[in-house]
Amino acid sequence: MIVTVTPNPALDVTYAVDRVALGRSHRVREVREVAGGKGLNVAGVLTAMGREVMALGLVGAGGEAIAEDLAARGIRHSLGRVDGTVRRTVTVVSSGDGEATAFNEPGPRWTAQAADTLRALVTRTLGAVRPAVLVISGSVPPGMPVDGLSALVAIGRAHGCVVIVDAAREALAGVLGVGPDLVKPNHHELAEVVGTTDPVTGAARLRERGANQVVVSCGPRGLVLVDDGLAVRASLPDALRGNATGAGDAAVAALAAGLAEGRSGVQLLADAVAWSAASVLEPTAGIVDPAVVERLRATVVLTAEPATG
Amino acid sequence: MIVTVTPNPALDVTYAVDRVALGRSHRVREVREVAGGKGLNVAGVLTAMGREVMALGLVGAGGEAIAEDLAARGIRHSLGRVDGTVRRTVTVVSSGDGEATAFNEPGPRWTAQAADTLRALVTRTLGAVRPAVLVISGSVPPGMPVDGLSALVAIGRAHGCVVIVDAAREALAGVLGVGPDLVKPNHHELAEVVGTTDPVTGAARLRERGANQVVVSCGPRGLVLVDDGLAVRASLPDALRGNATGAGDAAVAALAAGLAEGRSGVQLLADAVAWSAASVLEPTAGIVDPAVVERLRATVVLTAEPATG
């Protein structure tokens, strides 16, 4: 069993319009709404890959639409409530050229009570379902306490979970001190925290600051895993064209499944590349086709080298 | 007392962003939500002008945010429920140049039951509050029966109300046969239904098809009223710069107040120009400042001529 925590879930709304012209009014021809937020995407991919998973998070008013979408896709979840309105992301897609322009709301501002509610939800769930892996994933809501993610990592450790954190900026920097088992920044996020885009050098710095394993996602150039004395690089022979949104979440899903099932190193990373690439071929985040994962898995190119640090 | 009916209310959402670039993702810095929809704007203006008004409409899930905004602004209302999610309009305003780009959802698709619900709500309210004027205003929801507005006009007539309709395209064309007391197309809407933008000629055609009085709004060029034998033109000496959204609704509010209070012709139209212009000076639709209305009212320029038809 894997549990994912999404502190700041979203309702991902897509508007189909004929053509976008700045400064004008547009009639929206079609509105689609799906559950969004990185931890929910991770849970979606794990569900699609036949793994047992439970998604946790806090949503504002209107969050029923998120719960309905998760239920329709067979994704087990337990969502708590936070004051304010559910966070939305609005992506406007022009039917002419398919160009997508996104507007991402910050989400409801947390009070101290929201942090208490999420900690209680996570504690209760970990006690009940005893997962092997806890994934904490996604953007941090406005007003979340600075130790908010660290407190969740500590709860996971206290319940014997392997803890994966996918966060950025201050949230990533702040969680390193409590020693998460694996962090997965992308190369931009890596540079923001340690000042270098080189994945091996940067990962070593994150490990010095407390992370155990580090996986850096480098877009079409694949993934780099750094742990004790080993740096593994994995990629596909050719870059895929498609929808990169959610590719990182699919990688995290594979890492969670691999750690829950005892894989490490080369095996772990090759799966993550295959799941991530399969997600690129889907029109929306949080979904993969297991047959595509299997086909891509056979093509993954791997190199391993000694790592310092 | 005046009752307004909004078949398709909206939650008007404004996103503040730094600068909009098509094809990119944007962090929304601030989200504002206010009640929208033409009949709700009419009720807002009437409330601001100290008139007794009750706003009716049907909203989907999430419509509580509309009710909360109306309550906060002191606007009496009674909103029924329709299946689906509340209609939203999203306006993205770039903080650099203030450019506003709007995306308007169509709203939840009506079933036959929704039409029944709105008719019952209107019948119950007219019986209870006995208004002098009924205003039916705004866009028509997807799936509303073709006789939907005509049925509401008939309910108003049966309760002895003067009935004003502000609608466009098929909805305006379809309602003429039941003889509304006043219709208020703008000059674009006029052209869509009768094929001419000339307000006097076009209004005469709407009267031939069943409307009693016709007021055509012509943007900064003011308003034209046509009824038995008389065409009145009213405008300000100089065009105002500001927010034209809701200017037509403020004109309808003045027409409703004037008909409820026994004004006609020149008096009626001069008020409508003043209320409409005062609305242009407010940053959001559905609000006017009574002191500004009074000041502008004194400057309105009027001409009257005999009209044929």
Sign of torsion over alpha carbons A28, A32, A34, A36? negative
- The C-alpha atoms of residue A147 and residue A138 are separated, in whole angstroms, by 15
Question: How much is the pLDDT for A191?
Answer: 96
Provide the terminal-to-terminal Cα distance of chain B, rounded to the nearest Å: 32
DSSP sequence for B180-228: -SEE--BHHHHHHHHS---HHHHHHHHHHTT-SEEEEE-GGG-EEEEET
Check whether domain A2-8+39-88+109-306 has CATH 3.40.50.720, yes or no: no
Question: How much is the pLDDT for A223?
Answer: 97
Q: What is the pLDDT of residues B112-137, one digit of tens each?
A: 899 999 999 999 999 999 999 999 99
Closest chain B residue to A18, measured at CA? B103
Q: What is the pLDDT of residues A59-96, one digit of tens each?
A: 998 899 999 999 999 999 999 999 998 999 999 999 88
Query: Catalytic residue among A12, A69, A227, A249, which?
Result: A249
Question: pLDDT > 70: what percent of chain A?
Answer: 99
- The C-alpha atoms of residue B63 and residue B88 are separated, in whole angstroms, by 10
Residue B89's alpha-carbon distances to A27, A82, B235, in angstroms, are 9, 24, 30
Question: pLDDT > 90: what percent of chain A?
Answer: 86
Asked whether residue B309 carries a pLDDT value surpassing 70, the answer given is: no
Q: Would you tell me the crossing angle of helices B187-194 and B199-208 to the nearest 10 degrees?
A: 50
Question: How much is the pLDDT for A46?
Answer: 98
Judge residue A4's burial from the number of C-beta atoms within 10 Å of its C-beta, 0-12 exposed, 13-18 middle, 19 or more buried. buried
Q: Where does the pLDDT of residue B306 fall: very low under 50, low under 70, confident under 90, or very high at 90 and above?
A: confident
Asked if B26 lies within 8 A of A62 by C-beta distance, the reply is no
Closest chain B residue to A24, measured at CA? B101
- The C-alpha atoms of residue A276 and residue A251 are separated, in whole angstroms, by 5
> Averaged over B12-32, what is the pLDDT?
93
Q: What is the pLDDT of residues A109-130, one digit of tens each?
A: 999 899 999 999 999 999 999 9
Q: What is the ipTM of this complex?
A: 0.83
Asked whether residue A309 carries a pLDDT value surpassing 60, the answer given is: no
Per-residue DSSP letter, A157 = H
Asked if A102 lies within 8 A of B65 by C-beta distance, the reply is no
Cβ within 8 Å of residue A208, ≥6 positions away: A309
Question: How much is the pLDDT for B307?
Answer: 75
Judge residue B195's burial from the number of C-beta atoms within 10 Å of its C-beta, 0-12 exposed, 13-18 middle, 19 or more buried. exposed
Report residue A151 as tokens: 């407190």
**E strands of chain A, at which residues?**
2-6, 10-17, 25-27, 30-36, 53-61, 77-85, 88-94, 100-104, 133-137, 162-166, 182-183, 213-217, 223-227, 230-235, 301-306
Q: What is the pLDDT of residues B210-267, one digit of tens each?
A: 999 999 999 999 999 999 888 999 999 998 888 888 999 999 999 999 999 999 999 9
> Averaged over B9-33, what is the pLDDT?
94
Mean pLDDT of chain A: 95
> Averaged over B144-150, what is the pLDDT?
91
Q: Where does the pLDDT of residue A243 fall: very low under 50, low under 70, confident under 90, or very high at 90 and above?
A: confident
Q: What is the CATH number of domain B2-9+40-84+110-306?
A: 3.40.1190.20
Question: How much is the pLDDT for A29?
Answer: 94
Is the separation of the CB atoms in A96 and A17 below 8 Å? no
Least CB–CB distance from B106: residue in A28, A33, A92: A28
Residue B78's alpha-carbon distances to B55, B66, B90, in angstroms, are 6, 11, 24
- The C-alpha atoms of residue A16 and residue A27 are separated, in whole angstroms, by 9
**For the stretch B50-81, what's the b/e string if a residue is b when 16 or more beta carbons lie within 10 angstroms of its beta carbon?**
ebebbbbbbbbebbebbbebbeebebbbbbee
Map out the domains of chain A as residue ranges. 2-8+39-88+109-306
Question: How much is the pLDDT for A59?
Answer: 96
Asked whether residue A206 carries a pLDDT value surpassing 60, the answer given is: yes
A247 sits in which H/E element: helix A247-260
Q: What is the pLDDT of residues B57-72, one digit of tens each?
A: 999 988 999 999 999 9
Q: What is the pLDDT of residues B82-108, one digit of tens each?
A: 999 899 999 999 988 888 899 999 999
Question: How much is the pLDDT for B153?
Answer: 97
B-side interface with A, Cβ within 8 Å?
A: 15, 17, 20-29, 31, 33, 61-62, 64-65, 85, 90, 92, 99-106
Asked if A28 lies within 8 A of B102 by C-beta distance, the reply is no
Nearest to B77 by CA among B90, B64, B88: B64
Q: What is the pLDDT of residues A156-188, one digit of tens each?
A: 999 999 999 999 999 999 999 999 999 999 999
Asked if A26 lies within 8 A of B92 by C-beta distance, the reply is no
Judge residue B146's burial from the number of C-beta atoms within 10 Å of its C-beta, 0-12 exposed, 13-18 middle, 19 or more buried. exposed
Asked if A17 lies within 8 A of B99 by C-beta distance, the reply is no
Q: What is the pLDDT of residues A268-301, one digit of tens each?
A: 999 999 999 999 999 889 999 999 999 999 999 9
Least CB–CB distance from A104: residue in B23, B28, B62: B28
Question: How much is the pLDDT for B146?
Answer: 84
| Distance to chain A for B7, nearest Cα, Å | 18
Question: pLDDT > 70: what percent of chain B?
Answer: 99
What B155-158 contacts at long range (C-beta under 8 Å, 24+ apart), as own/partner pairs, is: B155/B119, B155/B122, B155/B123, B155/B126, B156/B122, B156/B126
Residue B190's alpha-carbon distances to B24, B104, B167, B196, B204, in angstroms, are 39, 22, 10, 7, 11
What is the value of pTM for the model shown?
0.83
Residue B160's alpha-carbon distances to A202, B141, B156, in angstroms, are 78, 26, 6
Provide, as residue numbers in chain B, all residues whose Cβ is less than 8 Å from the Cβ of A23: 99-101
Strand order across the B230-235 sheet: B77-85, B53-61, B2-6, B133-137, B162-166, B182-183, B213-217, B223-227, B230-235, B301-306
A-side interface with B, Cβ within 8 Å?
A: 15, 17, 20-29, 31, 33, 61-62, 64-65, 85, 90, 92, 99-106
Strand order across the A133-137 sheet: A77-85, A53-61, A2-6, A133-137, A162-166, A182-183, A213-217, A223-227, A230-235, A301-306
Asked if B26 lies within 8 A of A61 by C-beta distance, the reply is no
Asked whether residue B308 carries a pLDDT value surpassing 70, the answer given is: no
Beta-strand relationship, B10-17 and B30-36? antiparallel
Question: How much is the pLDDT for A98?
Answer: 83
